Amino acid sequence: MNSFTVSEGSSGSRVDKAVSEEFPSLSRSFIQKLTESGMVLINGKAAGKSSKVKEGDTVSVSLPEPVSLNAEPEDIPLDIRYEDGDLLVVNKPRGMVVHPAAGNFDGTLVNALLFHCGDSLSGINGVIRPGIVHRIDKDTSGLLIVAKNDFAHNSLALQIKEHSFTREYRAVLCGHLREHEGTVDAPIGRSEKDRKKMCVTDKNSRNAVTHYKVIEEYRDFTYASLRLETGRTHQIRVHMAYIGHPVAGDTVYGPKKPALPGGQCLHAGLIGFIHPRSGKYIEVSSELPDYFKSFLEKINN
């Protein structure tokens, strides 16, 4: 049982938010499942899904014992850009799912990691997401970091929470942006109209900040660099659609007839972090994949 006392700054927050701030390595969805299972207590009593905390409350979280993962190791080639005893950085191709879910129990990045790493993966985010500190969408390509132990996972999750973890993307956006450089600061939450989608909203949302910079303009598109200050689900896709310039190929937040088939033209090209054990800053980059370069050539003609 892990316990903490609610501070003044967290008073009035929902219990899942207070727990996520105290234990940044735990995802909000995982905390909500723990709450629904009666494993989150406020002053010794089971917390409800919408329970709020106040200053001085004692919140206790009981983490379940690890259970066997249903996902099987698969010998799937991995494009590893950095690896040591604590973590690895992998370059994910577009079209690959990160972790098993309904309809995708094999062929995922986790299946490949289980084969490559064996038992050397952090178990903090549950058995379906071993080692996964953050993720990128199926149809987004690029870099993500994987923790081999809980020590590394906690350190990296804290860096993400404190915005000291660098994540830069490249994207092709529809249309031309009014300003060549700027920031989108708009909270993101789940859409009430479509629970599979996220949206900019003030209701049950979390702050989200995306910085963008135009690299080159084409007739109907803009090639841009984007840096995440926060890491909300679908953040870049939602923010760019919100300002009227959805990511090319994104049929969820953009035009239903995409100029680019196969998913959005979005690539996680750079990540930078403080190594949990050595304390040294490490930066890993990834070149534009072929699908991205081909689309740039197409729109340049």
Residues known to be catalytic: 137
Residue position matching structure tokens 């690029």: 142
Distance in angstroms (rounded) separating the CA atoms of residues 122 and 91: 19
The neighbour count for residue 188, using CB atoms within 10 Å, is: 22
* Token reading at 79: 């494009």
Distance in angstroms (rounded) separating the CA atoms of residues 41 and 39: 6
Question: Between the CA of residue 47 and those of 1, 5, 17, 38, what are the distances in Å?
Answer: 15, 15, 13, 7
